[in-house]
Structure 1
Amino acid sequence: MAGLTAIACGPVISAAPKPRSPEKIYASTCGYCHGQHVAPVIRGRAIPPEAVVQFVRTGPAAMPAFRQTEISDQELKALAQWLHASRADPKEHEQ
């Protein structure tokens, strides 16, 4: 039986988690302040994606910075593009 290869059984490494959609990230993270009149409205403002990335990673003023463990680079890039292209949500503009 020479030539048989032993197969080692070890822990199964799960794949990286599936990235969340920009809509889910906004609803669960950004919208908590930006959609509730706590922070400035950001949807419908055509904010440059590079600025969104900078704001999210550095946390200007009272906004907290979000680490890669909280919003991955892939998710942040998608969120920045989505926000740049988004239309204003009338509910966020109500006073």
Structure 2
Amino acid sequence: MSRIVHRAKARAILAVAALAAAAFAPPLLAGQKLGEVQGARTADDIYAKTCGYCHGRNVGPIILGRAIPADTVKYIVRHGQNGMPAFRPTEVTPAELNALATWVEKSAARKQEHGY
């Protein structure tokens, strides 16, 4: 076989391998960039990258400083409500959600946030 045919076969095999690797790769978490290794995220990090995008910016209601019970936060995050989407455990892990819900419940209001 010619060298061109061998190269074409090699490229095809590499392309299939890359697609297979992408198909079996774990999904990205919210706020994670492709190729970024996701380490432990603090509740403040999760809020800033996932929740704060809407809450406190005239898109969703302000949630900090309102003493929303942690169980309510967890339920709404997992199931969604009105215009808010549900977040899967691959986006916010159960441990992260527990920490986030407690953090939101105990949080103080932030004067830079605005909305309803």
**TM-score of the two chains, using structure 1 as the length reference:** 0.78
RMSD between superposed Cα atoms in Å: 1.5
Establish whether residue 68 from structure 1 lines up as the match of residue 68 from structure 2: no
Extract unaligned runs of 5+ from structure 2: 1-37
Does the CA contact (< 8 Å) of 2:70 and 2:102 recur in 1? yes
Which structure has greater helix proportion? 2
Extract unaligned runs of 5+ from structure 1: 1-16
Q: How many corresponding residue pairs?
A: 79
Does the CA contact (< 8 Å) of 1:45 and 1:88 recur in 2? yes
1:26 counterpart SS class: helix
- Runs of 4 or more, structure 1, over 2 Å off, are none
Establish whether residue 90 from structure 1 lines up as the match of residue 108 from structure 2: no
Q: 1:59 to 1:18 in 2, by over 3 A?
A: same
Partner of 1:24: 45
Q: Which has the higher contact order (CA 8 A, sep 6+)?
A: 1
1:32 counterpart SS class: coil
Partner of 2:77: 56
**TM-score of the two chains, using structure 2 as the length reference:** 0.64
Percent identity (aligned) = 51
